Structure 1
Amino acid sequence: MGSTFHGVIAFALLAALLVVGSLLRSRFSWLRVSLIPGSIVAGVIGFVGLSAGLIPGYGSSDFTALAFHFFTLSFMSLCLTGSPKPAKDEQHQGIVAGGLWLTLIWTASLGAQAVIGYGLMAGYDLITGSDLSPLLGAIVTHGFTQGPGQALTYGTIWENDYGIANAAQVGVIFASLGFVAAFVVGVPAARYFLKRGLNVNHNSTLDDDFVRGFHTPQTQPAAGKQVSHSGTVDSLAWHIGLLGVAYVITYVWLSVMQPLVAGNQVLSVFFSYNLFFIHGLTVCVLMRMAIDRFGWTDKVDDDTLKRITGGSVDFMVVATLMSIQIAVLSALLVPILLIAVAVTLVTFLGAVSIGRLSGQLGPERAVTAFGCCCGSTGSGLLLLRMMDADFSTSVPKELAFFNIAIIVVNIPTLFFIAPIAPSLGTWSYLAIFGGYMVLMLICIPLLLKWQRSRSRQTYSVQEPKSS
Structure 2
Amino acid sequence: MSADSIGFALLLLGIILLVGKGIRITTPLVQRLFLPSSIIAGFLALFLGPEVLGALANAMGSDRFSEAGLFTPEILDVWSALPGLLISIVFATLFLGADLPSPRRVTRLVGPQLSIGVIFASGQYVVGLLLAVAILVPFFGSNPMTGALIEMGFEGGHGTAAGMRESMESLGFAEGGDLALGIATVGVVGGVILGVAFINWAVRTGRTECLDGTVEQSLSEQRGLFRDDENFPAATMTTRPASIEPLSLHFAFIAAAVIIGVVLLEALQAAEQWGVANVPGYDVEILSHVPLFPLAMLGGVIIQVLLQRTGHTGILDHQMMLRIQGFALDVLIVSALATLSLTAIAANWQPFVILCVAGIVFNVFVLLVLCPRIIGRFWFERGIGDFGQSMGVTATGLILMRIADPENESPAYEAFGYKQLVFEPFFGGGFVTAAAIPLIYAFGPVPLLVAMTIVLLVALGVGLFFYGPRGRREIREARATADVS
TM-score by length of 1: 0.85
Unaligned runs of 5+ in 2: 54-68, 277-282
Deviation at residue 18 of structure 1 after TM alignment:
1.9
Aligned residue number for residue 27 of structure 1: 26
Letter in structure 2 aligned against 1:185: L
1:402 aligns with 2:446: no
| Residue pair 1:108, 1:437 contacting (<8 A) in 2 also | yes
Quickly say closer, same or farther: Cα 1:347–1:415, change in 2 above 3 A.
same
Of 108, 116, 124, 1:105 maps to 116
Aligned residue number for residue 361 of structure 2: 345
Distance in 2 (CA, whole Å) between partners of 1:373 and 1:117 is: 14
1:363 aligns with 2:380: yes
Distance in 1 (CA, whole Å) between partners of 2:300 and 2:148 is: 30
SS state at 2:95 partner: helix
Size of the aligned set, in residue pairs, is 450
TM-score by length of 2: 0.82
Aligned residue number for residue 174 of structure 1: 183
Q: How does 1:53-452 map to 2 (within 5 A)?
A: 53-57=69-73, 62-83=78-99, 99-121=110-132, 122-127=134-139, 130-160=140-170, 162-202=171-211, 206-264=217-275, 269-270=286-287, 274-357=290-373, 358-407=375-424, 413-414=432-433, 416-443=435-462, 444-451=464-471
Per-residue CA deviation, residues 4-36 of structure 1 (Å, 9 max, x unaligned), is 133333333332222211121111111112222
Superposed CA RMSD in Å reads: 3.2
Distance in 1 (CA, whole Å) between partners of 2:109 and 2:307 is: 30
Quickly say closer, same or farther: Cα 1:63–1:137, change in 2 above 3 A.
farther
Query: Which deviates further from its counterpart, 351-360 or 199-208?
Result: 199-208
Per-residue CA deviation, residues 349-378 of structure 1 (Å, 9 max, x unaligned), is 222211122223111123211111112211
Letter in structure 1 aligned against 2:261: T
Quickly say closer, same or farther: Cα 1:301–1:440, change in 2 above 3 A.
closer
Quickly say closer, same or farther: Cα 1:174–1:219, change in 2 above 3 A.
same
Distance in 1 (CA, whole Å) between partners of 2:253 and 2:431 is: 30
Deviation at residue 270 of structure 1 after TM alignment:
2.7
Distance in 1 (CA, whole Å) between partners of 2:396 and 2:111 is: 19
Quickly say closer, same or farther: Cα 1:188–1:159, change in 2 above 3 A.
same
Query: Which deviates further from its counterpart, 134-143 or 195-204?
Result: 195-204
Distance in 2 (CA, whole Å) between partners of 1:408 and 1:257 is: 17
Percent identity over paired residues:
19
Quickly say closer, same or farther: Cα 1:24–1:135, change in 2 above 3 A.
same
Distance in 2 (CA, whole Å) between partners of 1:324 and 1:268 is: 29
Deviation at residue 285 of structure 1 after TM alignment:
1.1
SS state at 1:110 partner: helix
Deviation at residue 195 of structure 1 after TM alignment:
4.0
Quickly say closer, same or farther: Cα 1:9–1:193, change in 2 above 3 A.
farther
SS state at 2:94 partner: helix
Unaligned runs of 5+ in 1: 463-467
Distance in 2 (CA, whole Å) between partners of 1:303 and 1:205 is: 28
Query: Which deviates further from its counterpart, 376-385 or 209-218?
Result: 209-218
Deviation at residue 125 of structure 1 after TM alignment:
4.7
SS state at 1:223 partner: coil
| Residue pair 1:154, 1:419 contacting (<8 A) in 2 also | no
Aligned residue number for residue 61 of structure 2: none
Per-residue CA deviation, residues 385-405 of structure 1 (Å, 9 max, x unaligned), is 111123232100011121123
Letter in structure 1 aligned against 2:286: V
Distance in 2 (CA, whole Å) between partners of 1:64 and 1:308 is: 20
Distance in 1 (CA, whole Å) between partners of 2:16 and 2:352 is: 27
Deviation at residue 194 of structure 1 after TM alignment:
3.2
Distance in 2 (CA, whole Å) between partners of 1:110 and 1:80 is: 24
Query: Which deviates further from its counterpart, 107-116 or 21-30?
Result: 107-116
| Residue pair 2:125, 2:452 contacting (<8 A) in 1 also | yes
| Residue pair 1:356, 1:362 contacting (<8 A) in 2 also | yes
Quickly say closer, same or farther: Cα 1:96–1:430, change in 2 above 3 A.
closer
Deviation at residue 46 of structure 1 after TM alignment:
1.5
Aligned residue number for residue 465 of structure 1: none
Distance in 1 (CA, whole Å) between partners of 2:474 and 2:200 is: 32
Distance in 1 (CA, whole Å) between partners of 2:325 and 2:220 is: 21
Distance in 2 (CA, whole Å) between partners of 1:235 and 1:81 is: 13
| Residue pair 2:284, 2:442 contacting (<8 A) in 1 also | no
| Residue pair 2:376, 2:475 contacting (<8 A) in 1 also | no
Distance in 1 (CA, whole Å) between partners of 2:167 and 2:19 is: 34
